[in-house]
Amino acid sequence: MAKDKKLVESITSMSEDFAQWYTDVVKKAELVEYSSVKGCMIIRPTGYAIWENIQKELDARFKETGVENVYMPMFIPESLLQKEKDHVEGFAPEVAWVTHGGNEKLQERLCVRPTSETLFCDFFSKIVQSHRDLPKVYNQWCSVVRWEKTTRPFLRSAEFLWQEGHTIHATAQEAIDRTEQMLNVYADFFEEVLAIPVVKGKKTDKEKFAGAEATYTIEALMHDGKALQSGTSHYFGDGFAKAFDIQFSDSNNQLQYVHETSWGVSTRMIGAIIMVHGDDSGLVLPPRIAPTQVVVIPIAQRKEGVLEKCAEVTDVLKKAGIRVKLDGSDKSPGWKFSEHEMRGVPLRVELGPKDIEANQAVIVRRDTREKIVVSLDELAVKVNEELVKMQADMLARAKAHLAENIHTATDYETFKDIVANKTGFVRTMWCGDQECELKIKEDTGATSRCMPFEQEQLSDVCPVCGKPAKAMVYWGKAY
The residues binding a second copy (CB under 8 A) are 33, 35-37, 40-45, 48-49, 51-52, 68-77, 80, 92-103, 110, 112, 119, 122-123, 126-127, 138, 142-143, 145, 147, 158-159, 161
Q: Which is nearer to a second copy, 119 or 228 (CB)?
A: 119
- Closest contact distance (angstroms) between CB of 320 and a second copy is 20
Contact between residue 164 and residue 116 where contact means Cβ atoms under 8 Å apart: yes
Closer by beta carbon to a second copy, 143 or else 384: 143
Q: Output the smallest distance, CB 249 to a second copy, in A.
A: 16
| Shortest distance (Å) from residue 134 CB to a second copy | 14
C-alpha–C-alpha distance, residues 160 and 51, integer Å:
12
Nearer Cβ to a second copy (40/461): 40
Return d(Cα 107, Cα 17) in angstroms, integer: 49
Phi-psi region of 354 (alpha: psi -120 to 50; beta: other; left: phi over 0): alpha
Between 86 and 133, CB nearer to a second copy:
133
Helical (H) or strand (E) element with 194: none
Count CB neighbours of 349 within 10 A: 25
Whole-angstrom Cα distance, residue 392 to residue 367?
12
Question: Between 33 and 456, whose beta carbon lies closer to a second copy?
Answer: 33
Rounded to a whole number of angstroms, the minimum distance from the CB of residue 436 to a second copy is 31
| H or E stretch at 82 | none
Give the span between the Cα atoms of 199 and 183, in whole angstroms: 11
Report the distance separating Cα 371 and Cα 277, nearest Å.
20
- Distance separating alpha carbons of residues 163 and 296, to the nearest angstrom: 35
Which CB sits closer to a second copy, 148 or 433? 148
Q: Closest separation between CB of residue 295 and a second copy, Å?
A: 16
**CB of 46: closest distance to a second copy in angstroms?**
9
Q: Which of 193, 272, 188, 177 is nearest to 233 (CA)?
A: 177
- 3-class SS of residue 456: coil
